[in-house]
Amino acid sequence: MNVPEDLRYTADHEWARLEGGQVRIGITDYAQDALGDVVFVQLPEPGKGVKAGESFAEVESTKSVSDVYAPVDGTVVEINADLGDAPQRLNDDPYGEGWICVIRPDDTGALSSLLDADGYRKLTES
């Protein structure tokens, strides 16, 4: 299972990548494998405020519908609209083309409270 070293993670299986002052968000390789084939992604509206730990998007697979939780407080500034036609990108490339949205965090320092790669690996292997 792929857990890139340069990302931060939540215990709910989202990843977050600091890019300048913004944070790109997606679901982890572990999450996409557990969900199975993703068939639909309900994206948030750009401009929407999100709160850490609260659901802001949904991922539907052939098995279930799952909430996606915000890793930090902030505002949605960009969404991956390509997922509308190609939800399978969450399966094929969860850390790349399968990103879900970019948020502007209220406090970029909040990322340091998330799990690092080692911590997330331990969580999924336990």
Partner 1 sequence: MMAAGPTPAGSPGGSTVVAGPAPGGRASSIPLLGRGHEPTVFEFSSEGRRAWSFRTTGLPEWEAADVVPAEWLREEPVGLAEVSERDLVGHVTRLTHRQYSVDLGAYPLGSCTMKYNPKLCDTAASLPGFTAAHPATPAPLVQGWLELLWSLTDTLCRVTGMAAATLQPPAGAAGELTGLLLMRAYHASRGEVRHKVIIPDSAHGTNPASVTLGGFRTVTVPSDARGLVDVAALRQRLDEDVAGIMLTNPNTLGLFEENIAEVAAAVHDAGGLLYYDGANFNAILGVTRPGDMGFDIVHLNLHKTFAVPHGGGGPGAGPVAVSPRLADFLPGPLPTRLPDGSFGWESPPRSIGRVHSWYGNALALARAWSYILANGADGLRRVAEGAVLNANWLRGRLRGVYDLPYDRPVMHELVASTAGLKKATGLRALDVAKRLLEEGFHAPTVYFPLIVEEALMIEPTETESPQTLAALADALIAIAGDPPGEAAHAPRSTPVGRVDEARAARTLLPTWDAVAAHQAAAQARGAPS
C-alpha count within 13 angstroms, C-beta hemisphere, residue 39? 6
Nearer to partner 1, 40 or 82 (CB): 40
Nearer to partner 1, 20 or 62 (CB): 62
52 contributes a contact to partner 1 by CB under 8 A: no
62 contributes a contact to partner 1 by CB under 8 A: yes
DSSP assigned state of 52: B
87 contributes a contact to partner 1 by CB under 8 A: yes
Of the candidate residues 6, 40, 51, 54, the single one contacting partner 1 (CB under 8 A): 40
**Closest to 35 in 3D by CA, of 2, 63, 7:** 63
CA 4 to chain centre: 13
Residue 79: φ, ψ to 5°: -125, 155
92 contributes a contact to partner 1 by CB under 8 A: no
88 contributes a contact to partner 1 by CB under 8 A: yes
Contact positions vs partner 1 (CB under 8 A): 34, 36-40, 60-64, 87-88
